[in-house]
Structure 1
Amino acid sequence: MTEFQPRVFSGVQPTGNLHLGNYLGAVSRWVPLQDQMPTIFCVVDSHAITASFPNAQELTDATREVTAAYMAAGIDPKKSIIFNQSQVREHAELAWIFNCVARMGWLNRMTQFKEKAGKNKENASVGLFAYPNLMAADILAYRATHVPVGDDQKQHLELTRDIAAKFNNDFAERIKELGIGVPNPTPSPELPEYLYFPMTEPMIAGPATRIMSLRDGTKKMSKSDPSDLSRINLNDDADAISKKIRKAKTDPDALPSEVDGLKDRPEADNLVGIYAALSQSSKEAVLKDFGGQQFSAFKPALSDLAVEKLAPMTDEMRRLTADPTEIDKVLKAGAEQASAIAEPVLKEVRKIIGFLDVR
């Protein structure tokens, strides 16, 4: 191998209802990637138990629902590998190895752990603390070169790169000796001549990479927010979508004509960003059409657009989840395809680090 095969990996946790933020910040951006390079999209159910164990049936149902959302949004099982993480054991095995590669200081700097654990970090699970190492394993088990992420996950991807770099450096001679490395395209003192794992690149783009709460424009839209009015769920009907946008928090001023006018107006910036993402345009284009207008005129237009874009997807999700046979077939086939890629990678990793395999 003279270079790493371009490959995309990403995933969403099956915890609670998927919402507009998941769709605009992640899933909708995956669809065009299917025609650009090999793509793997995972339902990361092992991540779903890091904070607490959900009800078993709820986790099963949510895994199928996220898969249905992928497919309804345009992720094609004939183009992409779709599977749930727990079916492919290489994720967990590589995560343990990365637990031994990553440094405590690296994990202590992760802001998401601090936010999720809060003042109760002494009672937080080890899984929540080591979550970024499993994320690194998810990506590097396939030697993925690109990961579409929201800006809130960029720090975790930087940790993935740190883990890859340390592994490549720690085992540089062994990788070269076994002849299973890829020539480093950008030689530097920080990285050896041959790499086993790629330095995965983030893909952050679009007008709405981070969708904020409809009730507080300074907070990310979240499944865990106690107020259902804070988010638009992908299974909301047209009336619910219209109600939530109508009740979305705003300020009393008219929309500006320039993007600079959205500064220090988080709710206005969020709603304009949502419109831009749904219409596949830009904030500049939205403000060209709506600048100077009050929210009483903008909100109905946003509501109509959201219903137009989301209703067909909601209908398809409901069709798929009504009979999960099709979903389960997709997940089974996807797990087999994913395993076929990850198993040889883990076999080589075991050889690199010196695990004896006499089977």
Structure 2
Amino acid sequence: MALQSARKVRGCCSFIRALHKGPEAAPVPQVSEHAQLSWILTCMVRLPRLQHLHQWKAKSAKQQSDGTVGLLTYPVLQAADILTYKSTHVPVGEDQVQHMELVQDLAQGFNKKYGKFFPVPKSILTPMKKVKSLRDPSVKMSKSDPDKLATIRVTDSPEDIVHKFRKAVTDCTSEVTYEPSRRAGVSNLVAIHAAVTGVPVEDVVRSSTGLDTARYKLKVANAVIEKFAPIRSEIEKLKRDRDYLEKVLRVGSAKAKEIAYPVLQEVKKLVGIL
């Protein structure tokens, strides 16, 4: 996990250079404290505790295997991301509640063994609704879904977005209605349409009267394209400004390390590494 984290940090500049095919740039300072604290916390949590987490069980079942160690221990790295900065409040969605409970357990366990050091962070539930997969509306949309047609990405081209919505799973009824329990696929499209336009679901359905699902898919696709257009434009603009991106990485790394380094040093002293 430590190796993976270090590679992710090092990969930022490599990614930027690859986009521009420019000359090698000065290396960006690394923040390795997250990975080091993650290892220490991993030594304090038992295997059944991690296997109990819903996302581990769901993703393992979907992969039709026992899953990977990285998938199993990723929530501990998330805990390290939070505890390294002694966070007191963390905004999370419903699907991350169990992971936050793990963070709280780890903080309390560490404090019980080594003295009160970490604040036990509180969860702040965000009112975000889950967007369902376009190919399987019974599960949430996920960037890790192996089916590339299941997920809409902000960086998708307009052509890709239209193609994905055309392939979205609906049903044999052509009318546009919002009935999540009975018509999950169409209702998912309505929910997405309402979210990107800021229009209530009821009004979205009313404005789509007379459209069959084929034409409605195109309407939703166009609404998503319009919503994402300025975001995609800004992303493309930033990708062209390599100097600015590398400056952000350097400044951010320095600020993060300034906070994280003394925390990790104190943790190492408490556990007996230093």
Q: State the TM-score, normalizing by the size of structure 2.
A: 0.78
Aligned partner of 2:242 among 324, 336, 340: 324
Aligned partner of 1:61 among 12, 15, 32: 15
1:95 Cα offset (Å): 0.8
1:39-77 superposed Cα distances (whole Å, 9 cap, x missing partner): xxxxxx72988xxxxxx9799428999xxxxxxxxxxxx
- Name 2:127's counterpart in structure 1: 205
- Name 1:155's counterpart in structure 2: 98
Q: Percent identity?
A: 37
* Pair 1:133-2:76 in alignment: yes
Q: Which runs of 5+ in 1 are unaligned?
A: 1-44, 50-55, 66-83, 176-180, 182-195
Q: Tell me the distance in 2 between the aligned counterparts of 1:63 and 1:350.
A: 36
Q: Is the 8 Å Cα contact of residues 147 and 202 (structure 1) preserved in structure 2?
A: yes
* Pair 1:337-2:259 in alignment: no
Aligned residue pairs: how many? 259
Q: Tell me the distance in 2 between the aligned counterparts of 1:111 and 1:60.
A: 34
C-alpha spacing 1:239/1:138, structure 2 compared with 1 (3 Å): same
Q: Tell me the distance in 1 between the aligned counterparts of 2:73 and 2:249.
A: 26
Q: Tell me the distance in 1 between the aligned counterparts of 2:197 and 2:18.
A: 28
Q: Tell me the distance in 2 between the aligned counterparts of 1:322 and 1:291.
A: 43
1:197 Cα offset (Å): 2.1
- Name 1:274's counterpart in structure 2: 192
- Name 2:176's counterpart in structure 1: 255
1:161-181 superposed Cα distances (whole Å, 9 cap, x missing partner): 22122223333xx33xxxxx6
C-alpha spacing 1:264/1:140, structure 2 compared with 1 (3 Å): farther
C-alpha spacing 1:147/1:128, structure 2 compared with 1 (3 Å): same
1:105-155 superposed Cα distances (whole Å, 9 cap, x missing partner): 21121233334444432xx54333222111100111112233343433332
SS of 2:110's equivalent?
helix
Q: Tell me the distance in 2 between the aligned counterparts of 1:309 and 1:289.
A: 18
1:329 Cα offset (Å): 1.4
* Pair 1:120-2:65 in alignment: yes
* Structure in which a larger fraction of residues adopt strand: 1
Q: CA RMSD in A?
A: 3.3
Q: Is the 8 Å Cα contact of residues 154 and 202 (structure 1) preserved in structure 2?
A: no
- Name 1:103's counterpart in structure 2: 46
C-alpha spacing 1:237/1:62, structure 2 compared with 1 (3 Å): same
1:318 Cα offset (Å): 2.0
Q: Is the 8 Å Cα contact of residues 95 and 136 (structure 1) preserved in structure 2?
A: yes
Q: Is the 8 Å Cα contact of residues 238 and 307 (structure 1) preserved in structure 2?
A: yes
Q: Tell me the distance in 2 between the aligned counterparts of 1:149 and 1:307.
A: 27
- Shifted more, 101-110 versus 344-353: the winner is 344-353
Larger RCO, structures 1/2 (Cα 8 Å, 6+ apart): 1
C-alpha spacing 1:109/1:336, structure 2 compared with 1 (3 Å): same
Q: Tell me the distance in 2 between the aligned counterparts of 1:155 and 1:47.
A: 26
The AA in structure 1 aligned to 2:133 is S
Q: Which runs of 5+ in 2 are unaligned?
A: 20-27
Q: Is the 8 Å Cα contact of residues 34 and 77 (structure 2) preserved in structure 1?
A: yes
